[in-house]
Structure formats: C-alpha cells, structure tokens
A and B are shown apart, each in its own frame.
Chain A
Amino acid sequence: MAIDVQPSPPRGPETTTATSPPRRAVPLLVWNVLAVVLGVGIWTVLARIGVSGLPGPQEVAVRAGELTMDGTLLDDSLASLRRVLIGFALGSALAIPVGFLMGWYRTARGLIEPYVQFFRTIPPLAVIPLAILLMGIGETPKIFVIFLAAFLSCVVSTFQGVVSVDSTMINAARVLGANDAVVFRRVVVPASTPFILVGMRVGLGAAWATLVAAELIAAQEGLGYRMQQAQIYYDLPSIFVGLITIGVLGLLMDRLLLAAEKRLTGWQERR
C-alpha cells in the first residue's frame, strides 16, 4: 500500500491548459506497474535461492486459488471487510460530529480533548484484553477496537479542520448576513471537508491495522484468524495470501476515499 498520493493535475479552464505544450512524461502508472513486476521478480529470486521457508509467488498463487475455490478466502474476506466497515463507519460517524463540537465550542473542546489525547496514546491493541473482559468474545469487542482506532484518527483531523478555518472567511460570511448556524453549515463544514477526508483515510488505515489483532479474539473466521491458524500449521503460503488480500482490500478502499476526496474537494488550490 505504498503508492503515494498523487497530486491531482490542476483542472484549469481549457483556455489556460491548451496553451501549455503537452509534456512527454511517462505516466506514473507505468512506473507503478514496473515496481510491482520488479517486486514479484525479487520475491521469486529470493524464494529460488532458498531463503528458509519463503514460498515463491507461484506457490502463493496456487494456495490463493485453492482458498478461493473452497470459498474460505471469500468468507474470510467478507467477515473481515464487515468488521472493518462497521468499525470504520461507526468511528467516522461519531468522530465527525465530535470533531465539529470540539472545534466550534470551546467548552466542548475543554471537556473532550483530554480524553481524546489520552486514548490516542494507548494503542488500540492494548485495549483488547479489557474489551474481551467487558464485551465477551463475540463480534462486539472486535468491532469496538476497530471503531476506536478509526474514531481517534478521524476526530483529531476533523477538529483540526474546524479550528483552521480562515477567520476572514467566517467574517466575510457574517458581513453578508450569516448567523452562527449559516456560518457553520455553509462555511465551516465545506472548509473542513478536506481535513475530514484525510482523517477518514488515516482512520481507514488504522482500522485495517487493528483488524488482524482484533481477530485474535477468538474469531471463527476472518483474514486475521486464517493467518493465525496458518501460523500454527507453519502454512506460509496462506499467510501470504492473507497479507496480500488485506493489502489489496485496504488499497481499494483507500482509492475509493481518494476518489471521493477529489470529487468533494476539487476546489482546493494544490501545488
């Protein structure tokens, strides 16, 4: 998941872009594909020269095929996706209003910020033992831990977004007759959208990062659970399948959010 965020090309009016000569640059995607091919190549070489126990790409592909055929890969992926999505959705859904409250009302900030900052210093994984004792071993503690991870990343970012809204812009709205409610809805919300989306992307990353650990909690299925099982049986190809699936799913979801970001915040001036 290391493909960097590409800055969107400026979408100026045709009149300005048409005059600049098109540059004969290799598209970034070509380099991305090349990197993947190279990576797989190096992996193959490492497996061939016998790095102890390392399965090669073919071996992993075969295992992926098997796991797909018998349906476990799909079931595990769906189980994990479900947890990530529910945890992430709940986390963001709570983080956005709380972030707005903290940014908009000093009192709310004073009341909430100590808790946010405190829980931010605790890795969500460290909450797992407590979550098990309080919530049992069902879906609740797993989703809760993912929720916590997503919430904490997103809330700080939303809060930052609201605090950094240009005060001149707020004044401009006020002198045009806007009251607090209108300033909030028509200025603060759109102005902090870029921050919120960045927060959601970070939150999504945190949600995936927490997933495997959350599935340590007596799960019956899920990518993390499958990898745990594979570890017990020294089944390295399955571990690779799990890792790659998590990476691909995470990347896909990140791209979706990135697309939303481009759509919603295309008005931004970017370098």
Chain B
Amino acid sequence: MTEKISFRATTRTFEVGGKPFHALREVDLDIADREFVTVVGPSGCGKSTLMNIAAGLVEPTSGEVLVDSRPVRGPSPERGVIFQQYALFPWLTVRENVEFGLRIAKVGRAQRRARAQHFIDLVGLGDFADALPRMLSGGMRQRCAIARAYAVDPGVLLMDEPFGALDALTRVQMQDQLLDTWGTERRTVMFITHDVDEAVYLANRVVVMAARPGRVQEVIDVDLPYPRTEAVRLSPEFSRIRNRVWRAVYHQTPQEGASR
C-alpha cells in the first residue's frame, strides 16, 4: 500500500496563559491511498488540529505532513474538507454551492453543470438542486457539503465531525450514504469523530488519540467487510472491535503527570 498522507513528528503547541500547551506532540501516522481512517478521542486530544494541519489551515509548530510525498503548504483543492458546521454559502443554491470550486478552477460551463449534477444526484439532492441552504435540513446540508467537496475531485477528503450536529437517526443514514458514496467514488478519507460506534462502522482503521499532550494512543484495524450493513453493525465482531476502541478511548493512562 502506498501512503497518501504521512504525519511526520507533527507537533503543534499553543500558548495558554504564557505556558506552551501541546495540542499535538510528535504525531506519526500514515494513511494509505483510498483508505478510510477514522480518528477518535476525547476532547482536547488534538484530533481537529491534526485534520486542520492536513488541510493546510493550521501550520505545525514542528514536523510536517506529506500528501503524495509533498509537504503541505496551505489549503488546496487536492484536499477537500467537510466541516461540522456545513459551511455552505447561504446565498448560493445547492447547485451553485457544488459548482463553487469548479468555477474557481475555471471549468467550462457545460462541464461544470454536468459534474455538479453528478455529485448532487450521488448524494440524493437531485430534487433540491435549486434550493437555498436555509430550506434544507441538517442532513441535507451536510450532503450538499459532501457533494461540494467531491466536485473538485480531491484525492483526499478530510471530515471534521461532519455528522456531529445531526440527530442519531439521521447520523446512521448519513453514515450509510457516505459509505455508498465512498464505494463509488473512492478517495482517501480522514474522518474525525467522538462517536466510537461511528468510528468503527466507517473505517478500515481507527486511530485512537489521547490528550495532554495530544498524541496517537493506539491504531486499531477494523477487519469487517464492505459494504457495511446493519448486519455488520449488529454482529459480534463489530461489538468486539467497538469494545476495544471504547477501552482505548475511555481508559487512557495520563502522561506527563497531567493533573486536572
């Protein structure tokens, strides 16, 4: 397997009250091409920071991130990002939102239309192509954001708790749909979540992070077949892996003599 994303001793410190605070300390992590990796961990473990560094929205204090063996320098359409707050442009319709990146890339009108339509249909928003975001439900908004990220054809999709604001039912539907989309349009996915079930259900591998300092605690392989279905979700193998991830997330040994 070839590496798509490589974190090399990636460190990020913030100043809190004049003292350095390690959001991330020397994180090493490789994500293979077309792999679906979820990152799960308690709040403050730096999982969002890790994703933002990969996106080029945050710079590492030291170390680096390589994507396709090239160090990341700022954001690029090669790495699509899906935010928890959807971040759609509310003055644009679903179609115009999806076409946004294509317009910047100066894709011709006809081709832009066709590409946008393809991904709008793929996420099931065909009937809402001309609706404004305010008319859509949370799940539909996030589907629009996913179509928008896909439209510019990124090799990597970075998702920052994309279903975090959705109710439990919608969440499960969105997970299935995301896997469907990923099945047809395979990309390297790094998916941040705080939901253990979600992390296991989606991923080839689950990266469990720990806080203070932010670091990788454990990487757990998920040997479950795709397509994932309800049967998989309810299988004993699933719960075995889920339990393992759960323990890794909730029973972490503190480092650095960190006291609360």
Residues of A within 8 A of B (CB): 12-13, 16, 166, 168-169, 171-178, 182, 186-187, 190-191, 193, 265, 267-269
Contact = CB atoms under 8 A, between A and B. Distances in A.
B178 interface: no
Contact of B89 (A13, A16, A169): A169
Contacts of A186: 89, 100
Nearest to B87: A172
Contacts of B77: 175-177
A82 to B, nearest CB: 34
Contacts of A174: 57, 74-75
A144 B151 CA distance: 51
Interface of B: 55-57, 74-77, 79-81, 83, 85, 87-92, 100-101, 104-105, 131-135, 145, 148-149, 152
Nearest to B52: A171
Contacts of A172: 81, 83, 87-89, 145
Contacts of B152: 176-177
A175 B132 contact: no
A196 to B, nearest CB: 13
A198 to B, nearest CB: 16
Contacts of A268: 90, 134
A30 B172 CA distance: 49
A182 B135 contact: no
Contact of A169 (B56, B87, B104, B132): B87
A169 B83 CA distance: 9
7 contacts: A13-B135, A169-B89, A171-B57, A171-B75, A174-B74, A175-B80, A265-B91
B104 A190 contact: no
A140 to B, nearest CB: 39
B55 A175 contact: yes
A175 B90 contact: no
B83 A171 contact: yes
Nearest to A178: B104
A168 B85 contact: yes
Given A169-B87, A173-B100, A176-B149, 13 more contacts: A166-B85, A166-B87, A168-B85, A171-B57, A173-B89, A175-B56, A175-B79, A176-B101, A176-B152, A177-B104, A186-B100, A191-B89, A193-B91
Nearest to B134: A269
Nearest to B101: A176
Nearest to A179: B104
B89 A175 contact: no
A190 B88 CA distance: 13
* 10 nearest CB pairs, A to B: A176-B101, A172-B87, A177-B77, A267-B91, A175-B81, A174-B75, A168-B87, A269-B134, A175-B75, A177-B104
A225 B75 CA distance: 60
B210 to A, nearest CB: 26
B76 A177 contact: yes
A175 B134 contact: no
